[in-house]
């Protein structure tokens, strides 16, 4: 049952048959809470954190629509994450979900290419018309690009579970798909993850890996910031970062708690309509306390050793671009990443 629901959710079939995607959440929620009754310790902590997160995220919310939108989205993300975690019991099921998401991305790219024939100059420029008018399932193709990059990181991390020809073919296709989304952040993330994957094969010690990766991230981050002025879209991201830190330094008391979904998206946006970087969106909607829980949840889900840092790096890199904090599809991928790491740890215990 949960397999069918996830399949429909991943492939976005509900709107196309005249039904809301949230329709799948009622049976998912029912299955989850029935499972919780038989496994009270498994997700009780996660459920408690979800409720605490909601409480501290709506303290400053002044409008009902802010509160209802945020509560609805957090619960949807939590339920989809939990359902995915429950379904992925072994490596075979993890591979099934990877192939489902991969197939959906191929289908989505085909529909987009039928809308507007892509060319290299068009993809490099990334015009708004291409990103929005030719995005059949999401608000724009940047969302598709984020999903591509996150799946790419998960695919490389689970490379040993796939046949070599499968992993090479899928990896190449995903890199091409990242380019076809016209999302610079997605393409750059795929390249960085590829370099991390190669590095992982060369350096075996976790301690040395982490030290080198951390140093490289700091150095590359400095170089990227220095190059931001050459691209207006990247330069705007720097403005958001600057405004974020300036606002937190000037009025930290205003951002201890969240301002709700819509108001919070504008709280740290400066003169623009809404913030375009993940940290500003999370802090604006959920406050500093909520942001600690949010990023703590992601780090807890994906950081076990320096090798799993590859998947965490994908989320951190994409968060510098427009990565909506409460988009349910991302929480499917977070659950996939977490289960991949846990299954890898279990296999290591069996081998040892």
Backbone φ and ψ for 275, nearest 5 degrees, come out as -70, 145
**Residue closest to 286 by CA, chosen among 126, 88, 58:** 58
pLDDT at 199: 76
Q: What are the CB-based long-range contacts (under 8 Å, 24+) for 127-136?
A: 127/182, 130/182, 131/181, 131/182, 131/183, 136/108, 136/111, 136/112
Q: What is the model's pTM?
A: 0.80
How many separate domains does the chain show? 1
Of 78-82, 125-129, 287-291, 332-336, where does the model show the most confidence?
Answer: 332-336
The answer to whether residues 268 and 276 touch, using CB atoms and an 8 Å cutoff, is no
Q: Which residue has the higher pLDDT, 51 or 91?
A: 91
Q: Is the pLDDT of residue 318 over 90?
A: no
In whole angstroms, what is the distance from residue 246 CA to residue 238 CA?
A: 12
Q: Is the pLDDT of residue 291 over 60?
A: yes
CA R_g for the chain: 20
141-164 as b/e, with b when 16 or more CB fall inside 10 Å?
bbbbbbbbbbbbbbbbbbbebbee
pLDDT at 303: 67
* DSSP one-letter code for 256: S
**Residue closest to 58 by CA, chosen among 214, 285, 246:** 285
Helices 2-10 and 91-115 cross at an angle (nearest 10°) of 30
pLDDT at 152: 92
Give the model confidence (pLDDT) of 85-107 as tens digits: 888 888 888 998 899 899 989 98
**Residue closest to 250 by CA, chosen among 264, 268, 235, 262:** 268
Query: Domain containing 197: what range?
Result: 2-351
Q: Which helix or strand (DSSP H or E) is residue 160 part of?
A: none
């Amino acid at each position: 049952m949960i397999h069918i629901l996830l399949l429909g959710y991943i492939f976005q079939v509900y709107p196309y048959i005249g039904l809301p995607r949230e329709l799948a959440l009622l049976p998912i929620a029912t299955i989850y809470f029935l499972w919780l009754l038989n496994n009270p310790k498994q997700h009780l902590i996660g459920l408690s954190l979800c409720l605490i997160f909601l409480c501290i995220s709506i303290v400053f919310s002044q409008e009902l629509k802010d509160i209802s939108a945020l509560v609805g989205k957090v619960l949807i993300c939590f339920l989809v994450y939990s359902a995915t975690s429950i379904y992925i019991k072994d490596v075979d099921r993890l591979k099934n979900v990877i192939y489902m998401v991969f197939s959906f991305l191929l289908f989505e790219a085909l529909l987009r290419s039928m809308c507007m024939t892509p060319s290299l100059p068009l993809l490099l420029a990334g015009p708004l018309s291409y990103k929005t008018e030719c995005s059949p399932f999401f608000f724009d193709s940047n969302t598709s690009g984020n999903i591509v990059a996150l799946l790419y990181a998960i695919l490389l991390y689970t490379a040993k579970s796939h046949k070599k020809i499968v992993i090479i073919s899928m990896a190449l296709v995903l890199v091409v798909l990242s380019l076809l989304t016209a999302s610079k952040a997605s393409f750059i993330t795929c390249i960085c993850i590829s370099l991390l994957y190669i590095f992982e094969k060369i350096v075996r010690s976790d301690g040395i890996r982490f030290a080198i990766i951390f140093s490289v991230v700091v150095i590359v981050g400095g170089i990227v910031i220095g190059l931001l002025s050459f691209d207006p879209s990247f330069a705007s991201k720097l403005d958001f970062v600057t405004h974020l830190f300036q606002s937190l330094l000037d009025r930290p008391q205003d951002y201890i708690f969240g301002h709700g979904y819509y108001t919070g998206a504008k709280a740290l946006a400066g003169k623009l309509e809404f913030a375009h970087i993940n940290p500003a969106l999370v802090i604006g909607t959920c406050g500093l306390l909520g942001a600690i829980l949010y990023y703590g949840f992601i780090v807890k889900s994906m950081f076990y050793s320096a090798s799993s840092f590859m998947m965490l790096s994908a989320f951190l890199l994409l968060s510098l671009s427009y990565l909506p904090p409460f988009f349910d599809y991302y929480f499917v991928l977070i659950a996939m990443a977490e289960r991949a790491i846990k299954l890898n740890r279990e296999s290591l215990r069996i081998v040892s």
